Structure 1
Amino acid sequence: MKDTFNREINYLRVSVTDRCDLRCVYCMKENMNFLPKSEILSSEEINSICSTFIELGVKKIRITGGEPLIKKGMPNILEYLGKKLKKTNLEELTITTNGTQLYKFAELIKKNGVKRINVSLDSLDPTKYLKITRGGNLEQVLEGLNIAKKIGLKIKINTVALKNTNINEIDKLVEWCANKEFDITFIEVMPMDMENSMRLKQYYPLTKVKSFLEKRYTLINTNINTGGPSRYVKIKNSNIKIGFITPLSNNFCESCNRVRLTCTGKIYSCLGHDKFIDLKKALLKNKKELKNLILKSILLKPKSHEFEINKTNKNKNLERTMNVTGG
């Protein structure tokens, strides 16, 4: 599938639920009102949509949330897509998780063909982690990471850079990942579903993070492409990669190859735009209708997103949340 800017679209990110067992300060409100369960796609509906995307040329699927590992139908989804890895053109199945349930699910994940996972971790300080996640247990996450590593899952840590919160841990996080043989990607905050002033308080440009790391390490630029938005460097004399996802300070739109399926069945061809195509009703019709709507959604993909951190507070703020859209 190609969009109107001749970009090959072969990567689908799937939010399987809006529910999460954490309330991270950059993702959702503390007293979050989740969607009625009747509005959430079932595992069977998710499988049907994913299957159609695979038929249309998608080669990589990433399962996200919310927290995907708390969805009751998650084993069914993993088993179904795991079989697609063996029988179709699907080349990779990956998961992004907050890690709280990893100690339970690592074996199941590995069994169904997942080779690498992304785990969100913004602090190695238990008190700070508790504050950022509004209730998370760091030790539980670390236990899950150790189990996942032991059984052979490749792990990448995702860290959101938060001004006045975890910036002083950048060096510690990199050293810890190097010792664990985990890759790490730093991410700028996404201006979604909160007043722009809130995001402005949290925003810390990754140009500063990279500059800090360059003073501490010898960084080597790479051409590594994992199919996502990260730009990677390597530390000299180390095997770990450090990635930077910079939607605000240096966007990656020119090479964007992905679309997002929300947990309610909407396809967003761009994280930073409000236009979407609703696939849920098409599930009640036939596969031809579903395919036509998917192809239509690809043609809606804009040249670039509209994310902006604006000190005047005049820019448009996207009202949907990351947990519904997919992190």
Structure 2
Amino acid sequence: MKKLTDTFGRNITYLRLSVTDRCDLRCAYCMAEHMTFLPKREVLSLEELEQLSGAFIDRGVKKIRITGGEPLVRRDIMTLMARLGRRLEAGEFEELTLTTNATQLVHHADVLRSVGVKRVNVSLDTLDDEKFAGLTRRNALSKVLAGLDAAQAAGLKVKINTVALKGVNEDEIPAMIAWAHGRGMDLTLIEVMPLGEIEADRVDQYLPLTAVEDNLRTQWTLTPLEMRTGGPARYVKVEDTGGVLGMITPLTNNFCAGCNRVRVTCTGQIYMCLGHSDRIDLRAALRSEKPDAALDAALGRAMLKKPERHAFDISERGAAPSVSRHMSVTGG
């Protein structure tokens, strides 16, 4: 079957698949406190999510990352993980991973490892209890830290994802890097992205990673690495800690030339680019009379519509976000 290749010659080998828009946190840069979540009938069933994954695997996708919302709050999510794990064990694709806030990892880490997940990304922006409660609107840092302990005890490799927020956690970034590296975890810093309406103005949240890196270089020796994952991050080794630091810079440094991914929401909408609103409805194809043929045709159309680059911008106070949907809807 024909591989997924866009009009710029980029091969799509990485699927980020959201299984729910729901989350047990309410991170201030991600979603509003009082979110309206999707009705169950609009969300793909576990069987549909597996079928959709299979269609991508058949078209050459080698890596599947399960996302949300918070994927581990989806009822019976481990049933899907086990089914995908069997495909992984059979050699149909190469890697099954998960992005999580870690609040539920205590209950699921061992099972994740048993179905073939080798590493997880954990979203964590502060190690301060009060600051965590303010950022996430929930007092759950102890659950996150217990989840990290459980993940590492289960043999999962953990990478921390930290959104750099001006005036919130910028003074804590060096300590977080040292903490993560001290536990054998890599850490990636991310610039805040203008996705969805929130209470705050993202102009006030935006901290350029160029400034963060300049500050880090006054304390540590950072050596550029040639690591390339086909993703947006560039990497350096922090010689003083021995760990790896990634930086995702959608605003200060466009990273689209090597894009190898697409995102599919829990309602089956494929977004060819996180920074654009263009989408194609895969749920309609899944629920049609001839789903295999309809999915194949829809994926072909998606490749024709994948843009060359994103359109993120945070330059004007009070401006509407570059993209109206929240990150929790698209999938992290």
Pair in the same fold by TM > 0.5 = yes
Q: 1:275 aligns with which of 274, 278, 281?
A: 278
CA distance in 2, matches of 1:162, 1:312: 16
| Match in the other structure for 1:319 | 324
CA positional deviation for 1:153: 0.6
CA positional deviation for 1:235: 1.1
CA distance in 2, matches of 1:325, 1:37: 16
| Match in the other structure for 1:307 | 312
The 8 Å contact of residues 25 and 138 in structure 2, kept in 1 or not, is answered as: yes
Code of the residue aligned with 2:36 in structure 1: it is: N
Code of the residue aligned with 1:305 in structure 2: it is: H
The 8 Å contact of residues 196 and 317 in structure 1, kept in 2 or not, is answered as: no
CA distance in 1, matches of 2:44, 2:322: 26
Which segment is superposed worse, 233-242 or 276-285? 233-242
CA distance in 2, matches of 1:312, 1:29: 18
The 8 Å contact of residues 182 and 240 in structure 1, kept in 2 or not, is answered as: yes
Q: 1:64 aligns with which of 63, 67, 81?
A: 67
Code of the residue aligned with 1:232 in structure 2: it is: Y
The 8 Å contact of residues 32 and 199 in structure 2, kept in 1 or not, is answered as: no
Q: Deviations over 1:124-176 (max 9, x none)?
A: 00110011000141111111101111221110000001111011101110110
Code of the residue aligned with 1:317 in structure 2: it is: S
CA distance in 1, matches of 2:70, 2:317: 34
1:54 aligns with 2:87: no
Code of the residue aligned with 2:149 in structure 1: it is: N
| Match in the other structure for 1:168 | 171
* CA distance 1:289–1:238, shift in 2 (3 Å): same
Q: 1:234 aligns with which of 230, 233, 237?
A: 237
Gaps of 5+ in 1: none
CA positional deviation for 1:263: 0.8
Tell me the secondary structure at the aligned position of residue 216 of structure 1: coil
Output aligned runs, 1:25-44, within 5 Å: 25-44=28-47
CA distance in 2, matches of 1:314, 1:100: 33
1:45 aligns with 2:51: no
Q: Deviations over 1:17-41 (max 9, x none)?
A: 0000000001000111111111111
CA distance in 1, matches of 2:58, 2:71: 24
CA distance in 1, matches of 2:59, 2:317: 43
CA positional deviation for 1:89: 3.5
CA distance in 1, matches of 2:200, 2:37: 24
Identical aligned residues as a percent:
50
The 8 Å contact of residues 262 and 271 in structure 2, kept in 1 or not, is answered as: yes
CA distance in 2, matches of 1:317, 1:248: 11
Q: Deviations over 1:51-106 (max 9, x none)?
A: 10000000001111000000013111101111111224311111000010011110
CA positional deviation for 1:252: 0.8
- What is the count of residue pairs matched by the alignment? 327
CA positional deviation for 1:315: 6.7
Gaps of 5+ in 2: none
Which segment is superposed worse, 84-93 or 67-76? 84-93
Q: Deviations over 1:253-292 (max 9, x none)?
A: 1111000000111000000111110011111232011111
1:296 aligns with 2:305: no
CA distance in 2, matches of 1:134, 1:82: 34
1:90 aligns with 2:93: yes
Tell me the secondary structure at the aligned position of residue 80 of structure 1: helix
Code of the residue aligned with 1:142 in structure 2: it is: L
The 8 Å contact of residues 100 and 141 in structure 1, kept in 2 or not, is answered as: yes
CA positional deviation for 1:237: 5.3
The 8 Å contact of residues 201 and 318 in structure 2, kept in 1 or not, is answered as: no
The 8 Å contact of residues 308 and 315 in structure 1, kept in 2 or not, is answered as: no
Code of the residue aligned with 1:247 in structure 2: it is: P
1:101 aligns with 2:90: no
| Match in the other structure for 2:185 | 182
Which segment is superposed worse, 281-290 or 256-265? 281-290
* CA distance 1:57–1:24, shift in 2 (3 Å): same
